[in-house]
Chain A
Amino acid sequence: MTIEQPIISIQEATKIYGGGFLSTSNPIVALDRFSLDIFESQAKIITIAGESGSGKTTLANLVLGFIPASSGKIVYKGVDVSTMTRAQRRTYRKEVQAIFQDPYEVYNPFFRVSHIFSMIVRHFNLAKNRNDARALIEDALNVVGLRGSEILEKYPHQLSGGQRQRVMVARAYMLRPRLIVADEPVSAVDASLRAMILDIMLKLRDQHHISFLYITHDLSTAYQISDVMYVLFQGTTVERGSTGMIIENPRHPYVQQLIDSIPVPDPKVKWHTHISLPAEEVMRMKSSTGCRFYQRCTQHMDLCTRSFPPYTRIKDGHEVACYLYQPIAEPQQAG
């Protein structure tokens, strides 16, 4: 049996802002040694969960090539993305697409909706002529439940939020990518329409074998649709593994607090515990060595400040970076 090579491999990707030569500000580690492999044979929805400042959007920007990594690399089919030739980059662009949070901002208000499609048709040579292009667009729109005649000739502000986001999904789908980076795709969409977008994502995964990097702060939707999950806290991955295992049985104190804070949609099950956050100054004291959650953690130990906790395997496909689960006096394999 040969070992399959990942189509995209994120290897210890790190992004540090500021702190350069002559800079007075302290460097901020936006993303710290993030690793992830995506395989072609098995399309998956991979959740990158975290709150503001967790580094999840930095990761999206790295994968999409909007910003360079400070260290580590992203490898696509064996080629480092940062050293790609123009032709390789074009293929990469085609295979790795994105949908963003704000489905209005991604439209140039100057053009009709069709502009979104004509750009990719032209620059990726998707069709030989106008009719072919139109057929391709229609097909892509049908996948998301829209019809060209209804929307293409309109201006973006004339579409509903749900329609706008579905058009973006259709656009990405038209390129038949292997991976779609979905950066908070449903947080600006109304609750009753959320399901539609998520359902389309599932359909693209199952019928068209497209993987997703589902970047979100919302663990509930992640639980509903994703296969694998990485929970980030201040740039570090604190828990990773199968979505079901993490949500149903979170191990890291941060993830436990997160899940506990999601309002339960049942008026009979009210929050019974009070939680509080440490003072602002304390929260801003970021230790670059130990666990980043140390200041907020109710179970912290002296050990936690020394070095970043290695990943402990809870079960197959469920790892947590927390000393609470570290077997004592038994060196554990990190990674």
Chain B
Amino acid sequence: MAAVASNSSAQLTQTPARRTGVRDMPWLNAKFVAGSIVILLTLLFGLLGPLFWNTDLAYTASSPLNLPPAWVEGGSPDHPLGTESNGRDMLAQLIVGIPASLKVGVVAASIGMAVGILLGSTAGYVGGWPDHIIRTITDSVITIPSLMVLIAIAAYVSMPDTTAMALILALFAWPGPTRLIRSQVLTLRERGYVRMALLSNVPTLEIMLVEMVPNMLPWLAASLTGGISGAILGETGLEALGLGPTRVPSLGMIINYALNSTALVRGMVWWWLPPIIALVVIFTGFFLMTIGLDEIANPRLRGYSNVK
């Protein structure tokens, strides 16, 4: 009978073992890959663009005014996406503007996330009075209408470049991640595998980084990508109101100029639509990355698990 049992178990393990091979490359998740490609392409557009196109054309009075795109009647092959009323080339503006906007989003969200991880995990894991203090401050900051405050700050602080913009946005980017990470750590702390790690004499820091963080990845990723999108949105909002760095043609500034020059009414679609499309593409890319990361971090969502 023992022979039968071991015989059969050998037979049985073959199928699942083979399937493991496919699952071994979880990062090849279709959604994650698609999202990454989208973001990578937008980045490449900004990084490689200067090699092929003169970015000086992104600044005022570098080109003829109000040229439509090249494929439209009256357009010029020298300015394939057209130019706007201040004599800026649209293609050059996008090449400079997309990375500028991404940078503000990434820097602001990363600062927020870093602070969030620090405060959130301290509050969740340590508990006690540090938790009380962190929670109180976080909850108060979260109730402040951030855009109003940002407008007030942006109006007083002169905005020399995008870094200043990112830092100001970061002021309000941390309470969300803090709260999220605190609650995640609180639930993860009670998980069986965290207890197992404790029983395996694993030090606290390693428990947090090796056992907990991978399982928070979907939340961290969602929070980060959401944070980036939010920061870009906030940035665009401030800039569209004219509170951005006037020298840098970030996506929001392009929209601001288009609004100021009534591009909408004048039918200059090539002026206001490209920055919006760029924003939509960026948001879509981050969204796809988020849901892809979710599946990666949770193996049970990767196809069907082994049914008994």
Mark B268-308 against chain A: 1 for CB-CB distance below 8 A, else 0: 00000000000000000000000000000111100001101
Complex interface: chain A residues within 8 A of B200 (CB):
93, 119-120, 123-124
Q: How far is the CA of A142 from the CA of B231 in the complex (A)?
A: 55
- Nearest residue (CB) in A for B215 is A110
Complex interface: chain A residues within 8 A of B203 (CB):
123
Q: How far is the CA of A116 from the CA of B196 in the complex (A)?
A: 8
- Please tell me if A160 contacts chain B, counting CB pairs below 8 Å: yes
Complex interface: chain B residues within 8 A of A161 (CB):
308
- Nearest residue (CB) in A for B214 is A110
Docked-complex contact A106 and B198, CB < 8 angstroms: no
| Distance (whole angstroms) from the CB of A76 to the closest CB of chain B | 15
Q: How far is the CA of A188 from the CA of B59 in the complex (A)?
A: 69
Q: A110-B214, A119-B200, A123-B201 are in contact. Are A102 and B192 (CB under 8 A)?
A: yes
Contact of A109 among B17, B196, B202, B298 (CB under 8 A): B298
Docked-complex contact B214 and A155, CB < 8 angstroms: no
Docked-complex contact A123 and B202, CB < 8 angstroms: yes
- Please tell me if B20 contacts chain A, counting CB pairs below 8 Å: yes
Complex interface: chain B residues within 8 A of A123 (CB):
200-203
User: Secondary structure at chain A's binding surface: helix, strand, loop or mixed?
Assistant: loop
Q: How far is the CA of A97 from the CA of B195 in the complex (A)?
A: 11
Complex interface: chain B residues within 8 A of A98 (CB):
195, 199
Q: How far is the CA of A157 from the CA of B20 in the complex (A)?
A: 11
Docked-complex contact B20 and A100, CB < 8 angstroms: no
Complex interface: chain B residues within 8 A of A110 (CB):
214-215, 297, 299
Q: A109-B298, A109-B300, A157-B306 are in contact. Are A66 and B195 (CB under 8 A)?
A: yes
Docked-complex contact B201 and A93, CB < 8 angstroms: yes
Q: How far is the CA of A43 from the CA of B294 in the complex (A)?
A: 46
Complex interface: chain B residues within 8 A of A120 (CB):
200-201
- Please tell me if A64 contacts chain B, counting CB pairs below 8 Å: yes
| Distance (whole angstroms) from the CB of B306 to the closest CB of chain A | 4
| Distance (whole angstroms) from the CB of B194 to the closest CB of chain A | 8
Q: How far is the CA of A98 from the CA of B211 in the complex (A)?
A: 18
Q: A100-B192, A108-B214, A110-B214 are in contact. Are A154 and B17 (CB under 8 A)?
A: yes
Contact sample, A vs B, 5 pairs, CB 8 Å cutoff: A105-B192, A119-B196, A150-B10, A158-B305, A158-B306
What is the interface of chain A, defined by CB distance below 8 A to chain B? Answer: 64, 66, 90, 93-94, 97-98, 100, 102, 105-110, 116, 119-120, 123-124, 150, 153-155, 157-161
Supply 20 further A-B pairs (C-beta < 8 A) apart from A66-B198, A108-B214.
A93-B200, A93-B201, A94-B201, A100-B192, A102-B192, A108-B215, A110-B297, A116-B196, A119-B196, A123-B200, A123-B201, A123-B203, A150-B10, A150-B13, A154-B16, A154-B17, A157-B299, A157-B305, A158-B20, A160-B308
